[in-house]
Structures are given as C-alpha cells and as structure tokens.
C-alpha cells in the first residue's frame, strides 16, 4: 500500500470518522505512511455520505462514495474491526504495539474506556505517538461537549464575523473548520514524528477544533482588546471599495473585484470607458469610495451585469485590476489553468469499477520528489487479512474465527439500508 515516500516505514492506526481527522491522515498516506483505517459496520456514516454517481447509491453503496476516494480511504488500508467487542479490543492492542501513531476523533473518555488512552498504549509501546482530534480538548469545562463543524464555527468566534452588513450571522462554508483541523492534524503528526526521530520518545497530542478556529480570527481578538468592534461586512472590506462580488451576464454568474488604491480605480474606470457616474469627485479617494460604497456597488453591478464573468476577469487582470470569476465546481473541472498545472486527477477506482472514472482535486503543493496522487482507495474491510496477519501476527485460523464471530467484516449487515 505505502509508496516510496518520505514517510515509508511509518505505520498509523486511526479510529476516524467524518471529515477532519480522515483529511489529515490522508496527507500522511499520500506521503507513503501505512495508514490503517479502523472501521465498524455499526458506524458507516462516512460510507453513506457520497457523493454518489448521479446522486444515487448503487448496489455496493458502501464502496462508491466520492469522499471515500478523496480523503476517507485515500491511499489507506481498511480494517473493519469491532473494537467495542473484547476480541476486537485485544486485536487493536496487538496492532498498536507495532504502530508508530494512533489517532482518534472520539469524545474525551472514549479511548480511556476502551483501554486505548495514551498511558495504556505507551505501556505496550513506549515510542507511540497518539493524537486525539476533538471539539474542545481533553481539559477544561467543555471537554465532553460534542460538535459539528457548524457549531464549532460559532464557538470559535468565526460566525460572529460572517454575514452581510447589518444582517445576522451566516455560515462561512460547509466544512471550513474540518479542512483547517485536518491540515493541523497532518502538521502536528509530522512534527511529532520528526521529534521522535531526534529524541526516541513518543508523545501525546491534544488537538481541538475550537482552538484551530480561534487561531484563524487572531486579528479580531486583537481588535477586541482595544475596543474596536469588527462589523459584519459580507463581501465588503473595512476600507477598500469597490470590494464585492458583482452579478454578470447569464444565470448565477458573478465576478469579485477588489480595488486597493487609486491606480486600480483609474484602471477600472478605463475598462468601463469612463462612465459619467465614475467621474464624481467623491470617488477620487479611497475614503470617499468607501463612504459611498453602496452607491458605487449599485453602479458597478449595473455594468458588470452586461459582461461575461470570465472574459471580464481576464480584461481586468490585464489592466492590473484584481478580479476573479466566481467559478463553479463545474467550471473548475474544466479549468485550463488547473489542467495546465496538473492539479486535477482522474481516478478509476479498481475496487468499485461500476463508479467509473471521476475527476478529483489535487494537493495545493507538488514536487517531483513527493508524488501526492491518489493511488488506491480501500473497499470496506479490504485489508482485514493482510493487516491482521502482517501487523498483528494472527494466523489464518485466528482471522477466520474473527470473521465467523463478526469481529471483522467486509460488508454491512443484512439489516443495514442504503442511504
């Protein structure tokens, strides 16, 4: 499974669900680590999340979801093991003894109840690195609180900043904090692996979603200490104008324009062929443009509504005006710039050929020495025998007994329904 990457020889055992932790461990798998994803037939929400071809789950829906390939099982191994059972816990501990890293995103207390907390694992593997990615951490009054990305957006202060001017709080995105936390997971684990190489000692990492979010709004925290109230501005800016997203010709087509100085404003006026309203002396300064931003936005939107967003973006960029078409996901799949950079990857999952070839986003950095492509995507329990035999040291008879007792599985139970 692992490629000739910089993390070849590193073995990660991960009890992960949903988005943030799987996103982070996928980076380690890309870099060549052997990442063993522990799954359960009682918790298949990740395999139900899709997206599915034409929006419809197929006969093997548990292996067909696009998110599985993108980050869930990307370059990982799947061990479908019921760790809530006594034999499952015993097997997990046998595996952890031969792993470098153990990660989880359960609420605090769960790993201790299972006997998988850091002190317990360190007794059988003194060099172990453990990471728990939780909402609020293992200490403090909120330590046992659960969350979703939306609730953490609010608890970290982000939601107090997002929304239209004069309006209520609005969500920044569907999983903004999940991706940020996942990036921190990869960063923290790489540092821990590097530290252990120097010191020979393992460590415990307590990583939280809330603190990740709070770190993202540092400027607002500094302003609050000085009594400065940061108002919601939607797509606007504290002092720049025009600075907004404007409608363009066609159905739901938009362009973002962000003017920072007088030179850019003059260039924008030239592209608009010097309309009379733009000659208003009140707009000659940055302060004047910001004070009259609503009127300016109305005039500008009337003009952009007659333009093609991508054509206008190129024309404005040629004049030195910062502008960007609001590209849709469909636009991005065929974007010539992303294609020229080799960012997009086509992948045909051999474990689920009925899905066919799909296009996936790549990684935001690349170098020939570190290939970061999707190489494989594990089907449910695909590596049960391999992992238990090669890592856990179990015999084939022992593995078959676990299968008969449903401690390990390769498909959902008969009562499980498609999403």
pLDDT of amino acid 88: 98
Regarding whether 87 and 16 lie in a shared domain, the answer is yes
Which residues in the chain land under pLDDT 70?
1-3
Outline where DSSP puts E strands in 333-373: 345-348, 357-360
pLDDT of amino acid 412: 95
pLDDT of amino acid 366: 83
Reading the block at residue 309, the tokens are 């967003």
CA 122 to chain centre: 30
Reading the block at residue 5, the tokens are 């990457």
pLDDT of amino acid 2: 43
C-alpha–C-alpha distance, residues 255 and 400, integer Å: 59
Reading the block at residue 34, the tokens are 């052997």
Q: Which domain holds residue 258?
A: 243-247+254-325
C-alpha–C-alpha distance, residues 89 and 120, integer Å: 12
**What's the CATH code of the domain at 307?**
3.30.1540.10
Burial of 11 (0-12, 13-18, 19+ CB in 10 A): buried
Q: Is 104 helix (H, G, I), strand (E, B) or coil?
A: strand
C-alpha–C-alpha distance, residues 139 and 137, integer Å: 6
228, part of any domain: no
Number of domains in the chain: 2
Regarding whether 316 and 359 lie in a shared domain, the answer is no
Regarding whether 368 and 277 lie in a shared domain, the answer is no
222, part of any domain: no
Regarding whether 65 and 146 lie in a shared domain, the answer is yes
C-alpha–C-alpha distance, residues 189 and 261, integer Å: 42
Contact 35, 29 (CB under 8 A): yes
pLDDT of amino acid 368: 82
β-pairing, 203-208 vs 129-134, is parallel
Contact 208, 136 (CB under 8 A): yes
61, part of any domain: yes
411, part of any domain: no
138, part of any domain: yes
Regarding whether 110 and 170 lie in a shared domain, the answer is yes
287, part of any domain: yes
pLDDT of amino acid 414: 83
**What's the CATH code of the domain at 94?**
3.40.50.10540
Regarding whether 367 and 317 lie in a shared domain, the answer is no
Q: At what angle do helices 309-318 and 262-271 cross, to 10 degrees?
A: 130
Regarding whether 64 and 205 lie in a shared domain, the answer is yes
Regarding whether 159 and 291 lie in a shared domain, the answer is no
Regarding whether 319 and 375 lie in a shared domain, the answer is no
229, part of any domain: no
Task: Give the domain-ending residue among 294, 325, 356.
Answer: 325
CA 377 to chain centre: 17
Regarding whether 49 and 119 lie in a shared domain, the answer is yes
Burial of 69 (0-12, 13-18, 19+ CB in 10 A): buried
Q: What's the sign of the alpha-carbon dihedral 90, 91, 94, 97?
A: negative
221, part of any domain: no
Q: Is 370 helix (H, G, I), strand (E, B) or coil?
A: strand
């Amino acid at each position: 499974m692992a490629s000739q990457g910089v993390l070849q020889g590193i073995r990660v055992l991960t009890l992960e669900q949903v988005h943030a932790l799987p996103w982070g461990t996928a980076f380690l798998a890309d870099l060549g680590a052997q990442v063993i994803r522990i799954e359960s037939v009682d918790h298949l929400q990740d395999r139900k999340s899709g997206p599915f071809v034409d929006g419809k789950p197929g006969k093997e829906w548990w292996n067909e979801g696009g998110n599985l390939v993108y980050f869930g099982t990307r370059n990982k191994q799947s061990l479908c093991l019921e760790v809530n059972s006594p034999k499952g816990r015993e097997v997990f501990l046998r595996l952890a003894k031969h792993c470098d890293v153990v990660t989880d995103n359960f609420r605090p207390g769960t790993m201790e109840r299972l006997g998988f907390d850091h002190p317990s694992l360190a007794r059988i593997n003194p060099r172990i690195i453990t990471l728990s990615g939780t909402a609020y951490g293992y200490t403090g009054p909120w330590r046992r609180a659960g969350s979703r990305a939306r609730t953490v957006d609010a608890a970290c202060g982000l939601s107090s900043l997002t929304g239209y001017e004069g309006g209520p709080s609005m969500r920044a995105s569907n999983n903004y904090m999940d991706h940020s936390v996942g990036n921190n997971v990869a960063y923290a684990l790489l540092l821990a692996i590097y530290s252990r190489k120097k010191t020979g000692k393992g460590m415990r990492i307590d990583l939280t979603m809330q603190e990740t979010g709070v770190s993202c709004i540092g400027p607002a925290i500094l302003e609050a200490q000085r009594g400065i109230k940061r108002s919601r501005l939607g797509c606007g800016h504290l002092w720049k104008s025009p600075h907004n997203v404007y409608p363009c010709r066609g159905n739901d087509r938009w362009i973002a324009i962000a003017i920072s100085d007088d030179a850019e404003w003059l260039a924008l006026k030239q592209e608009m062929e010097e309309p009379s309203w733009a000659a208003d002396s009140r707009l000659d300064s940055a302060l004047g443009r910001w004070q009259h931003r609503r009127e300016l936005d109305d005039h500008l939107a009337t003009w952009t509504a007659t333009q093609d967003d991508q054509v206008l973006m190129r024309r404005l960029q040629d004049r030195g005006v910062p502008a960007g078409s609001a590209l849709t996901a469909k636009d991005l799949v065929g974007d010539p710039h992303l294609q020229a950079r080799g960012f997009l990857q086509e992948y045909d999952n051999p474990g689920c050929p009925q899905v066919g070839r799909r296009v996936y986003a790549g990684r935001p950095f690349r170098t020939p020495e570190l290939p970061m492509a999707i190489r494989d995507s594990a089907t449910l329990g695909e590596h049960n025998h391999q992992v238990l035999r090669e890592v856990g040291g179990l015999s084939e008879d022992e593995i078959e007994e676990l299968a008969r007792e449903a401690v390990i599985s390769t498909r959902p139970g008969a009562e499980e329904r498609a999403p």
